[in-house]
Structure 1
């Protein structure tokens, strides 16, 4: 596409262009979430042995530019209001229902929503949509991209590709920041500037950019806390870092989630050097609290995996002894009842992803 020419303006008012919907139906490439009620892959309502597409459920899939397809036809592009409607549908109707169904459905829903959210961003890019209209769509998409790694932490690699997911997060943040530069004073800018700082923990370029933000954004409580967490991380002050994390809301903690394992591992290494002695006893319940873990059992398992001895008694203790410490990889991501589930409260995951204020609006109008 010639960048000097005017970008195409989307004219498709459905979540999926009619041409694509018909083509994928004929090729048998409909997802289960897109089929008419009563249809299935193995049996049900069929035309020429193929399931029927439900126009209200079919969502445009991501198409690689290298595939030789025309991506800039106005009839195939969705304008911002339709893109926003699509993101809300994916999160409220597909994702939340999958959460309630179970792990098998969750894996299927993640692959579907991830692909369709990627297609949403592709439509934004082709139309060069910036400003508030672009920000609204990207904010909802990023809500999903930031929360889903916590929810799909136990899925196999073929379902959840950490590298591909991370690339989409970074690209979405980059485009969102451009939207904010194009049109200042977007309502949720401070929130997402803080989310970027938490996701990119310790990145000096991100911190420097945050310090150059307009005062109305840079002095917001969200950005100030996120910067303080970054400073605590750079200083190695993990005690202060975990105390600051308690001030974050659910979405912010999900943005930080990928750093929990490495920071807890670093904390155990520091404690092993600081309290290195066969005779020193460190209370396990205190360690659990300092690392913001859910219970002493989890804390004890983290210690024993590293060769540290847990001494039983009325109050279990840890023996931090360098000679017994094993240099292993950080623990796999775990469920965080204290740091995430408690903060979520009564909100659904779709409401957390879209913003709690919007979640209240959605529930009050059901």
Structure 2
């Protein structure tokens, strides 16, 4: 008979255990967002002398199990309610304080929030928290993980590691789906099942699993829209794809954002093969609408870089001639006003990530 010890139950009611806070304060390992406000602009912080931790701002950092640290003591583990409040603090008090600021503080905020969310998930795993309590923590963390790539797209690779970030997204989705299976009533399940479909666009296994969901989740409008986007992608029906993408809300659009350059590149390739003729002038304004691009100038540059002839006389148009086409691959990720920022509106990014003040 196999004996499985009961998982520890977290007793730490602070965002960071006292022992860790004192240890990092002593070793000078506090983050900028964790020190006392009066020290942030002082020479003590800039010269890395001893600085004091603010107990209300210090957040437990992620530590690898192999680092020789005790990870299963109840006194260093935070219960679900504390984990939820920690995620909320990271988004509303840290992330929203800098997202409109300079790139340096944006980099610092991203690295800080990303690391502390890994620690949140670690506490969740060690305690084997399941069901709706675990789902709520992961849902809030995924809000950040799905939206952040759009916001930090221009940060250097040493700050925003796309592969590591994607790994955390996939691990979070994997755990979340297991939590959904353990609890029949999850208020936000349809929302995150739809987000998974958009994140793993074109993945037949994900599509097949979605088809087996209970009717209440499978028939939800968000899931049906995400399924339609997937079908359009698999059928290479790019006009329909972008028509559907326009209907996505802000978080859904951020989730789809990783597929945007590839989808537009495939759209151009399809049009080049379908309308290849020296005498066929394809209107640029129509092409801009088809690919849901913000302005006609951007589409003109995309075509020019691929060797296509763009005429700006009269009605701007492009000639899709196969012999001139250069396959340079997808464009770099950039700013998206139509698909993302207009849908964000006046809400803060934290409100978008947490689905607060959602517009009807």
TM-score, length-scaled by structure 1: 0.95
The answer on 1:139 being equivalent to 2:139 is yes
The answer on 1:321 being equivalent to 2:321 is yes
Runs of 5+ unmatched residues, structure 2: none
Give 1:166's aligned residue: 166
Give 2:356's aligned residue: 356
Deviation at 1:132, TM superposition (A): 1.0
Deviation at 1:44, TM superposition (A): 4.2
Deviation at 1:41, TM superposition (A): 8.1
Q: Distance in 2 between matches of 1:27 and 1:3?
A: 40
The answer on 1:277 being equivalent to 2:277 is yes
SS in 2 for 1:247: coil
Give 1:267's aligned residue: 267
Give 2:250's aligned residue: 250
SS in 1 for 2:100: helix
Q: Distance in 2 between matches of 1:50 and 1:3?
A: 47
Contact 1:96–1:350 (8 Å) recurs in 2 = yes
Deviating more after overlay: 166-175 vs 299-308: 299-308
Deviation at 1:329, TM superposition (A): 2.1
SS in 1 for 2:75: helix
Deviation at 1:280, TM superposition (A): 1.1
The answer on 1:184 being equivalent to 2:184 is yes
Deviation at 1:271, TM superposition (A): 0.4
Deviation at 1:5, TM superposition (A): 1.1
Give structure 1 regions of 4+ aligned residues with deviation exceeding 6 angstroms. none
Q: Distance in 1 between matches of 2:91 and 2:102?
A: 16
Give CA deviations for 1:309-353 in whole Å, capped at 9, x if unaligned: 111112210011111111112101011100000111111100010
Give 1:211's aligned residue: 211
Aligned residue runs from structure 1 range 108-127, under 5 A = 108-127=108-127
The answer on 1:51 being equivalent to 2:48 is no
Contact 1:194–1:223 (8 Å) recurs in 2 = yes
Contact 2:28–2:49 (8 Å) recurs in 1 = no
Give CA deviations for 1:277-325 in whole Å, capped at 9, x if unaligned: 1221000010000000000011111111111111111221001111111
Contact 1:195–1:255 (8 Å) recurs in 2 = yes
The answer on 1:304 being equivalent to 2:298 is no
Contact 1:40–1:51 (8 Å) recurs in 2 = no
The answer on 1:69 being equivalent to 2:63 is no
Taking only aligned residues, the RMSD between alpha carbons, in angstroms, comes to 1.6
Q: Distance in 1 between matches of 2:281 and 2:114?
A: 47
Give 1:363's aligned residue: none
Q: Distance in 1 between matches of 2:198 and 2:279?
A: 38
SS in 2 for 1:38: helix
Give CA deviations for 1:165-218 in whole Å, capped at 9, x if unaligned: 000000000111111111122110000000000000000111111011111101
Contact 2:16–2:60 (8 Å) recurs in 1 = yes
Give 2:343's aligned residue: 343
Give CA deviations for 1:119-166 in whole Å, capped at 9, x if unaligned: 100100111111111111101100000000000000000000000000
Runs of 5+ unmatched residues, structure 1: 361-366
Deviation at 1:246, TM superposition (A): 1.4
Contact 1:38–1:44 (8 Å) recurs in 2 = no
SS in 2 for 1:56: coil
Contact 1:62–1:119 (8 Å) recurs in 2 = yes
The answer on 1:196 being equivalent to 2:191 is no
SS in 1 for 2:14: coil
Q: Distance in 2 between matches of 1:236 and 1:68?
A: 51
SS in 2 for 1:179: helix
Q: Distance in 2 between matches of 1:121 and 1:88?
A: 14
Deviation at 1:356, TM superposition (A): 2.8
Contact 2:15–2:78 (8 Å) recurs in 1 = yes
The answer on 1:294 being equivalent to 2:298 is no
Task: Give the count of matched residue pairs.
Answer: 357
Deviation at 1:104, TM superposition (A): 1.7
SS in 2 for 1:100: coil
TM-score, length-scaled by structure 2: 0.96
